């Protein structure tokens, strides 16, 4: 999943007179992140073996914050500012719950760190700037926050409140969302479509709020992951369809596959609770206990109801660990 570098249309690029902070300094804090992943890695088939996106310098020592899928199972990582040579990086940590990842530059980036803002204090309608790495103003989008609401991803991922911005940035992965005061509000994760107030579908970016990082920051730097029990993971890719949750696919070697779940199965309930949305599905799974807990799930297959018990796992245990070169 390599995002092709391309310039943002001039009409969407920010102009210094339109914003209230030092845009040039903020641009210096954004880097390009490129990684290579072994072909036998767990995520290689889905996410690819060559990945590229952006990251934000958040520490003067060259600590970079990015989105996790760019560096998950990475064998090599390279960081590059708008000028200067590329610098190797080491993926320090990935947090499965938030989606954040930290990369430490192994050489001198000599780039300023961007201060954290408050995503919680940001409001719908606020002006923001979304900055991708490598292209300066040419890869920056002047946007607005169009929604703050929960988000559930098909890969067993959920945020109680994500930020959504429009117009969408074409190089969203790991891009920095900058508030009107020049501080970091979040990290770009996805390009999705939402229905606006006029009932029209529009392209938007989903942003992981920066407020989720400070509570786990010390753990990530110390242990390489948040120091909390891992959530139970099933290895299913699911979608909502007509008030039902349908399994679109299962990880080949994951717990769901081992228990006999397969594409096309409809999730009816978890334990004694019926579920109709992805958020309900995930919350019920996570309420069952930590990774390793056996999860009783009622499914509908060929119009027949049956119960399956899935021995959950820690998702991280399936992933290759980074090696320090």
Which residues, 6+ apart, have CB-to-CB distance to 114 below 8 Å?
26, 29, 56, 57, 58, 176, 178, 183, 184
3-class secondary structure for the chain? CECCCCCCCHHHCCCHHHCCCCHHHHHHCEEEEEEECCCCCCCHHHHCCEEEEEEEEEECCCEEEEEHHHCCCCCEEEEECCCCCCEEEEEEEECCCCCEEEEEECCCCCCCCCCECCCCCCCCCCEEEEECCCCHHHHEEEEEEEEEEEEEECCCEEEEEEEEEECCCCCCCCCEEECCCCCEEEEEEEEEEEECCCCCEEEEEEEEEHHHCHHHHHHHHHHCCCCCCCCCECCEEEEEECCEEEEEEECCCCHHHHHCCCCCCEEEEECCEECCCHHHHHHHHHHCCCCCCEEEEEEEECCEEEEEEEECECHHHHCCCCCCC
Q: What is the pLDDT of residue 199?
A: 72
Read off the pTM.
0.94
Q: Return per-residue pLDDT of the chain as tens, 325 residues.
A: 445 556 788 778 887 667 888 888 999 999 999 999 999 999 999 999 999 999 999 998 999 999 999 999 999 999 999 888 999 999 999 999 999 999 999 999 999 999 999 999 999 999 999 999 876 788 899 999 999 999 999 999 999 999 999 999 999 999 999 999 999 999 999 999 887 777 778 899 999 999 999 999 999 999 999 999 999 999 999 999 988 999 999 999 999 999 999 999 999 999 989 999 999 999 999 999 999 999 999 999 999 999 999 999 999 999 998 766 5
Domains of the chain are 1-228 (2.40.10.120), 236-318 (2.30.42.10)
Q: What is the pLDDT of residue 134?
A: 72
Q: What is the pLDDT of residue 240?
A: 95
Q: What is the pLDDT of residue 129?
A: 96
**Cis peptide upstream of residue 177 (ω within 30 degrees of 0):** no
Backbone angles phi, psi at 179, to 5 degrees: -80, 180
Which residues, 6+ apart, have CB-to-CB distance to 272 below 8 Å?
none
Alpha-carbon distances of 127 from 90, 155, 204, rounded to whole Å = 34, 30, 14
Q: Three-state SS for 56?
A: strand
């Amino acid at each position: 999943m390599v995002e092709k570098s391309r310039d943002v249309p001039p009409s969407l690029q920010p102009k210094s007179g339109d914003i209230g902070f030092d845009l040039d300094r903020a641009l210096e804090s954004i880097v390009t992140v490129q990684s290579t992943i072994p072909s036998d890695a767990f995520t290689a088939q889905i996410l690819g073996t060559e990945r590229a996106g952006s990251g934000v310098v958040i520490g003067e020592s060259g600590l970079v914050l990015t989105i996790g899928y760019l560096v998950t199972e990475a064998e090599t990582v390279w960081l590059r500012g708008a000028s200067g040579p590329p610098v190797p990086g080491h993926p320090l940590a990935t947090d499965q719950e938030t989606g954040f990842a930290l990369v430490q530059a192994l050489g001198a980036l000599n780039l300023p760190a961007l201060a954290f803002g408050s995503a919680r204090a940001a409001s719908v309608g606020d002006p923001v700037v979304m900055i991708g790495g490598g292209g300066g103003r040419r890869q920056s989008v002047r946007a607005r926050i169009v929604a703050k609401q929960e988000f559930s991803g098909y890969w067993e991922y959920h945020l109680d409140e994500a930020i959504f911005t429009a117009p969408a940035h074409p190089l969203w992965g790991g891009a920095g969302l900058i508030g009107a005061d020049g501080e970091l509000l979040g990290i770009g994760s996805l390009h999705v479509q939402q229905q606006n107030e006029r009932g029209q579908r529009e392209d938007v970016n989903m942003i992981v709020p920066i407020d989720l990082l400070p509570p786990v920051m010390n753990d990530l730097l110390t242990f390489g992951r948040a120091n909390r029990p891992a959530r139970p993971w099933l290895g299913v890719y699911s979608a909502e369809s007509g008030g039902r949750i349908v399994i679109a696919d299962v990880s080949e070697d994951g717990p769901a596959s081992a228990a006999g779940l397969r594409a096309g199965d409809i999730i009816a309930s978890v334990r004694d609770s019926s579920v109709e949305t992805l958020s309900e599905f995930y919350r019920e799974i996570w309420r069952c206990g930590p990774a390793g807990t056996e999860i009783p799930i009622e499914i509908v297959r060929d119009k027949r109801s049956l119960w399956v018990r899935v021995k959950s796992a820690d998702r991280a245990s399936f992933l290759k660990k980074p090696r320090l070169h």
